[in-house]
Structure formats: structure tokens, C-alpha cells
Structure 1
Amino acid sequence: MTGPQRAAVILLVLGEEHGRKIWSEFDDEEIRIITRAMAELGTVDADDVERLMLDFVGKLSSAGAVTGSFDRTISLLEKILPTDQVAMIMEEIRGPAGRNMWQKLGNIDAVVLANFLKNEYPQTIAVILSKIRPDHAANVLRNLPNDLSIEVVGRMLRLESVQKEALDHIENTLRTEFVATLTQTRRRDPHEMMAEIFNGFDRQTEMRFLSALDASNQDSAARIRALMFTFEDLGKLDPAGLQTLMRQVDKDTLTRALKGASEGMRDFFFSAMSQRAVKNMQDDIQSLGPLRLKEVDEAQQKLVALTKDLADKGEIILSKGNAEDELVY
């Protein structure tokens, strides 16, 4: 046995109560190494456990066999470590292929899943929706035909325990008929990907690529421009979103960003400040003197990145224009 495997056996034997203090002494990398060894351990014979523990502490007589598995490992870690840390560690070990079918369904767009399920028997749909997250099941039901969704709700209310053989059959069917072809169903628009990449460019690089695209493919250039979220798009924030951003932004970053901003963008940010704060900001902008365009771009990109981060947390909503185009990042 390797060192991490030996440590994994000992920690499994110690369990939550006696192992908690030991886990708390490990750093993240050590936890990852031991967790991987624990998850891949399998069954260790009682004799091997006894010999290992005798070697480690000098005595062990009745520990019995231990089995390391993903479920056992997760169960143990969730009682010791923060939930988000456990999720990150186990996701790294499992990889995307390690997730079970019901977890994969939880990551599939509700409309896509509903379009697939609408051709299934109501009882089958009821079983599937009972196995995924309630919020996701609600979104799927919302996108099913009305009569079918009502029938499925009724089946779910009357649903009893499902035999393992039936559940295995449903899971295998989903794997072969749906998830295997999902990459074609959910193929991402490459323009979205390129818009995200272009958002990371400085202004000169962005203009260089877009100018080249204008010459070779005007339609693609126009679509990328429409999908990009730029500093100027911050002007579409609602008053509450702007106030949230202003509370979080560093004053020096804002000053540099506004140094190279248009009058309209300056007025937009000034609208969220008191008259005294506006006067101070104008003085700060003036006192900066000449700035390189690169410095202005970096400051404006920081504001954009901060805005997206706040949107990811649900603190503000990003919009590209009308309600139909509203984007929640």
C-alpha cells in the first residue's frame, strides 16, 4: 500500500468523531491526495487493516474490514469539511464522466430535457422528475405540454418505490438515447464563445480582430459585437444595479475607467453620486494627467469583470437592451 492508501484506511477506521481533528490539520493538496486514495480504495481485508493499524499504533484487534467508495468518502467528508470544498474535491476526482445519470440530467437545459421527455410515457417522466432537483423538475414541467404536465404531476403524487430493474432500464435508456447525442442537441453557438474571448481583449486587439472580420465575414463580426458585453453596456444597468456596482468598485479603478470614458458614460456614473462626490471625482480625473490607453482599458475591463461577478452572485441583472434580450450571468 502507498502512503496515501494507508492514511485512507486509518481515517476510514477512525471515522468522523476521532478523525475530525486529523482532517483539519491537512492542507487542500493533502486532502485531495488522501481523498483520491480513499475513493479508489475498494475493500481492504480485516487482516490487512489489523496489520496496518498495528504497524501504525502498535495495537488493533477488532476494526474489521473497511470499504472505500465515493459515497462513503463523500459521507465522511461532508461531516468534517465545508460542503463547497467537498464538492470541489470530489468533482476533481470524479470528472464529468463520473457523475451519475441523474446528476447529468440536472445540468441539462430544462427546455431540451422537456422536448425529449414529451414523447415518453407519463409514468416514465414521473420517475425521472422524481430523481432530479425539485427546482429543475419544476422548470421541466413548465415546458411540457399542459395536459401531459398535469398527468405527470398526478403520477408523481401516486408514485411508489420503483424497482431497481426498472430504474436501471430508464437510466440505460437515457444514457443511450439522450445523453449520448446531447452534444449535438446542445451545440453552443461559436459566436457566443468568440464574444467571451473578445471581451478579454484590450481595445486595440479587439478592434484589430473585428476589423479583420468585417473584411472577411461581416455577419459574424456583427453577431459577435451584439453578444459582447463591453464597458459601454454598463450604461444599461438599472439604478439599483448601478448603486450595487458603485458600492463594490475601487475608487482608483473607477477614476481611471472614467478618465477615458465618453461624456455620456461619465454622466451615467455621476448620476449615482452626490454633487460633492461628483466634484471630487472630476478633480481626481483631472489630476491623473495623461493616461495610456492600455491603463484605461484595464480599468474599464475590471469594472466589466466586477459587474459580471456581481451578476453571477445574483446581486445585479445584466441587460443588452429589451426584456427579451435580458441576460442573467
Structure 2
Amino acid sequence: MTSIDNLSGLRKAAVLLVQVGKEQSAQILKGLREPEVEALTAEIARLEEIDVETSDAVLREFQELAAARHYYSQGGMAYAEEVLVATLGADKAKAVLARLTSTMVEMPFEFLRRIDPRMVLSFLQDEHPQTIALVLAHMAADQAAVVLSGLQEDLQADVAHRLAVMDRTSPEIVKQVEAHLERRLSTVLQSSDYSAVGGLQPLVEIINHSDRATERLILQGLEVRDSELAETVRAQMFMFEDIVMLDDRSVQVLLRHVETKDLAVALKGVKADVKDKITRNMSERAGTALVEDMEVLGPVRLKQVEEAQAVVVRQIRELEEAGEILISRGGSDEFVV
């Protein structure tokens, strides 16, 4: 059997991506950070012809590690070891677990994925905002949204701002926070390298998983602290004006679920292309009636317009969740709400 012990982790990853095919490789790369994508693609470009035995050995190692990680997630390291010994034998299991342990070093706070986020909230709500931001940056977006929405309003905005401007965190700080949670949650992971965490994208994903009320509070709080940052965040979220990015069929589906009176108020003061996107997907008679309704309304308070727009956006999200429409941003990239 071919040994691949002399291959670097980067080279193994490159071989694996080549073996799984273009479509799956693209999906994998989407989940990586930009420096990782650059390193992997460069390594793939440097690959020469790989023999079948080496490719098979890389795939076997990946399969073993994936199985080990699955067992670990089900019952911890002891359970993973027990199953692997029974499956692969003591020597092989030891080698697989050693590789698993080394890869786990790069995944701080992974244990939080197995904990009810409401429990995490109960432990974090009295912590320093920077500590909360650090933990949220490592959590899955849907879980982090639960935690963030459960915080007090002023604390929400503070944490959101810290999360957005966070860049790199010292390994000692990460270890201290993990050790603190270990004592309270009886779980621990370690990190040996600087962790690139936070930034706009995690914050946008968390907000998109939050309810509308939480979203508005966070954005309003960010506006007070950093108006430029708040505008940047809004630019990466789905807002009412993003209706222009919906395909015509999706707009037509939306119009069947929105009251004309809400639509008339929501369209007050918006750009012409937004109005045009709506009216183009209505019958001529209905479009004319909508424009007339808008004119009859006269001046409308900004708060009323925003509330009406929120109703429409909420309906868009519900339809997207139900699979009735597709929200996209920037060509073929899907924008998750």
C-alpha cells in the first residue's frame, strides 16, 4: 500500500479536490477563506501527474478522517477511539486519531455546534461584549443569531460592531475564553495558531438569520456607532431595493402575496428601477392603478415607508424559505436570507 506520509496537508488537499471533480471542488472552496483558496489553487496548478495508488491513498485517508470526525461529534474522543479500534484495529485507529487531533487544532469552539444556543446565551449574556463577539464569530450563523437576538438591545449593537471590526485574535485569548467555557460547559478545544475571525460576512450571515426586529435594532445601533460601517453592512444584506435582483417570476409570485396598499407605501421615494421592476410584472391596468394609489397618498412619513418595506421584505424571506422564489446576488451566487 502506497504511503503518503511524506505529502504535505496542502498537497493532499489539492489531490483530493482534483479527485472529487470540478463541481464539488467549487462547493468546497466556497467555504474556505481567501488565503486558503489561493494556496490550494496554486498547489493544484503545481500538481504533476498523480499515480492511481497515491490518489486512492489520499481518498482513503480522507474517508477515515471523515468517519473519525463523525464518531467524535457523536460521542467525543473516547467513543471515536472505541469505534475506530473495532473497525480498523488498534494501530490504524491510533494513527487516524492522531491525524484527527492535529486537524481539530484549527477548529476552535467547534463544540458549540453541539450545544443548544439558548444555553450558550445564558452563559454569555453577562460576559464582556468583546468576549461575546469572539464566541459568536466561531459559531454557526443560525446559532449565533439566537444568541445575538437574546441579548439586550444596547449590548446587541455593541457586540455587532465589535464583531464587524474584529480581525485577528491572539491564540492566548482564544485559549482563555475556551478554558472559561470549559469550566462552565465541561467541553474544551484548543487553538495553536492565530485565528482569523469576525468581519462583515459573519455579521451579515447572523443578521440574515435573525428576525426583522433584531435586524432593525442591530442596524440602528451600528448607525449610531459607525454610520459608514452600517451602510457597508446594509449593502451586503437583502434590502427592499434589492427587489430589482429578483427574476420576473419571483416578482410575480411576490405580488400575489403582498397587499396593494402596502406596496404603494413601500414604493414611495424609491429609485425608478425599483418601481419599474414592480410595474413591469403587473398587468397594465394594475400597474396604472398602483401608480395612481401612490400619487393619491401624497407625502408619507419615512417611518411608514420603512414599515411597509419591512412587510414586503418579510414576505420575500418567507417565500424564499418556502422555496417559492430564489434570491440571488451578483450573477449566479445565491444570497442566503
Fold conserved between structures, TM > 0.5? no
Max Rg structure: 1
Normalised by the length of structure 2, the TM-score is 0.42
By relative contact order (CA 8 Å, sep 6+), the higher-ranking structure is 2
Normalised by the length of structure 1, the TM-score is 0.43
